[in-house]
Amino acid sequence: MKLFVSRDLDGFFGLFIDNLVQLLLILALCSSMAGMSGDFAYLVDARILPGAAISIVLGNLFYSLQAYSLARRERRNDVTALPYGINTPSLLVYVFFVLVPLHDDPERAWRMGLVACFGSGVIELAGAFVAPWIRKHTPRAALLSTLSGIAIGFISMKFCLDIWSKPIVAMAPLAVVLVSYFSGVRFPFHLPGGMLAVLIGTVVAWTLPSSMTEVSLSTHAVVDAARAAQPRWPVWCGQELWIALRDPQSWLGYLSVIIPMGLFNLIGSLQNIESAEASGDKYSTTWSLSANGIGTIIAALLGSCFPTTIYIGHPGWKQLGARSGYSLLNGIAIAALCLSGTVPVVARIIPIEAGIGIVLWIGVIITAQAFSATPARHAPAVALGLFPAIAAWGATVALAVFDLPEVRKAGITLQQVLTSTDPNNVQLAGYGLHGLITMERGYIFVCMMLAALSAALIDRKFFVASIWCALGVIATTIGLTHAYALSGNVVDYLMVWEQILPIDSMLYRAYDIAAGYLAMALIFLTLGFFFETTHQKTSATFPPKDDLHF
């Protein structure tokens, strides 16, 4: 296996665009919402981005060498490295639930961000040693179905809407992406499809007037950004982290965010490793997750508030033809941008619409793999596992409405809407708002549980299905899933041990849902006793023949 192949450029552009989006989100959200602008802009430019850069380059180096080692050991030339970068859900959650509440004191907000990032890394590192057992006892349908739901709602849907919102710039690159990756067509001079797509989109955006493209680009903005750019080296922030950790009262309240998101990252990474194995690349679960956790801990020690993780999308990069070099190229490029202070410059030159077609395609491949890489009889289980993630996407969109300036100006809050009447009667276009929020809380665990118990039922393993329901009871009672606290427009996790909460908050403990899971567990347990539990798998058709009798 070669360290670099020509298709690594395609993979690099896709992964680089995705990572660049995260960097731009950090710049925009921390500056505009967390108070890190003006005198506090250095927290982003000289602390967060350099720390993230080192974490990303070290992680990409590890996973690139891991793929190269696997290829040499198995004497193969088709091994693809696990993609790696900043975790998008964690980024958004940490911004809105850790940094924004402390925006009046940006330095304190940054230190709490370090604690949250460090805590996530510790959870991921500790979980690396129990994850192989979890993976062994969890059906593939449960692991891949969750990824599919995330891919549809939080990756493909967003970029799909962006493409059709700015079609002049985005649809021509999309056509190149679809021709290159679906049809397998090679372009003149062996130009990678991803590179050609970005070039075409950039040329169109700069050539046509902004009134046609709806993309504003300015030479003056590029020049100003270039003049402001200067090298930024990572700074050891372990002392600031230790100062924050020595005051438990300042961060105990954030455990309701840190613990769920740490587990979210752990399970998500585990699912991505399963996705890679389904594509033919079997990596060590413990080593992969350990590197993942260590990368996040390093990020926190060097000033970043945002966890890094194994990315969703390995089958997409593999089908692109990317191998190990794309990961290494991505790490080098991201580190160069962050450490040179040129992230704003690149953002002014390359419109993001030029490369989002690649990321859309990645989401499509992930969804397709969930059905093709699992036993045919488990297809309904995969389908059922999609619903919580899709509901979470709907909840995210619905909740964003209440943050619109017009709605805020009118003084209407989500809490007022839900408490003015029975929450179950509040409908948005026929969809229950309370139900959407309930499904959004801990949806990654709910996706996995529903798909796993469905696969167990298809295989007539009723005792196993009851165990998954019992786990649902525990997770819901603790507050990892379904339960929420609502204050104004802020929806937060509601852990069972939390007692100090805003007096006027709306609290939903979800004990009724826990009771529902318990009822399901008892039904499955009863069936397990009365039916002959041979553990024989059903035929590949669905539904199975009704050949079970009391």
Q: What is the pLDDT of residues 71-80, one digit of tens each?
A: 999 999 999 9
Mean pLDDT of 196-202: 90
pLDDT on residue 501: 58
d(CA 397, CA 151): 16
pLDDT on residue 398: 86
Tokens encoding 164: 């059709």
d(CA 194, CA 106): 38
pLDDT on residue 386: 94
Mean pLDDT of 392-415: 86
d(CA 196, CA 348): 19
Nearest to 80 by CA among 369, 271, 273, 267: 273
pLDDT on residue 502: 59
d(CA 193, CA 313): 17
Nearest to 330 by CA among 358, 302, 366: 358
Q: Lowest-pLDDT range, 174-178, 278-282, 400-404?
A: 400-404
DSSP type of residue 41: T
pLDDT tops 90 at residue 117? yes
Mean pLDDT of 282-292: 93
Cis peptide before 543 (omega within 30 of 0): yes
d(CA 389, CA 143): 13
Compute the mean pLDDT over every residue in the chain, rounded to the nearest whole number.
86
* Residue ranges with strand state E in 7-118: 84-86
* Contact between residue 143 and residue 270 where contact means Cβ atoms under 8 Å apart: yes
pLDDT on residue 538: 46
Mean pLDDT of 26-48: 88
* 291 compared with 21, residue with greater pLDDT: 291
pLDDT on residue 213: 86
* Contact between residue 20 and residue 347 where contact means Cβ atoms under 8 Å apart: yes
d(CA 102, CA 124): 26
pTM of the shown model: 0.74
Q: Residues 213-272: pLDDT tens digits?
A: 888 888 988 998 888 888 999 999 999 999 999 988 788 777 767 876 787 788 878 888
Mean pLDDT of 275-284: 92
Q: Residue 368: is it exposed, middle or buried by C-beta count within 10 angstroms (0-12/13-18/19+)?
A: middle
pLDDT tops 50 at residue 47? yes
Mean pLDDT of 282-309: 94
pLDDT on residue 548: 46
pLDDT on residue 83: 92
Phi, psi at 83, each rounded to 5° = -70, 155
> Cα-atom radius of gyration of the chain, to the nearest Å?
24
With H, G, I as helix, E, B as strand and everything else as coil, classify residue 431: strand
* Contact between residue 238 and residue 114 where contact means Cβ atoms under 8 Å apart: no
- Highest mean pLDDT pick, 45-59, 84-98, 360-374: 45-59
d(CA 521, CA 472): 9
Q: Residues 526-549: pLDDT tens digits?
A: 999 887 544 444 444 555 544 444
Q: Residues 476-498: pLDDT tens digits?
A: 999 989 999 888 888 888 888 77
Helical spans, DSSP H, in 284-378 = 285-301, 314-320, 325-340, 343-349, 356-372
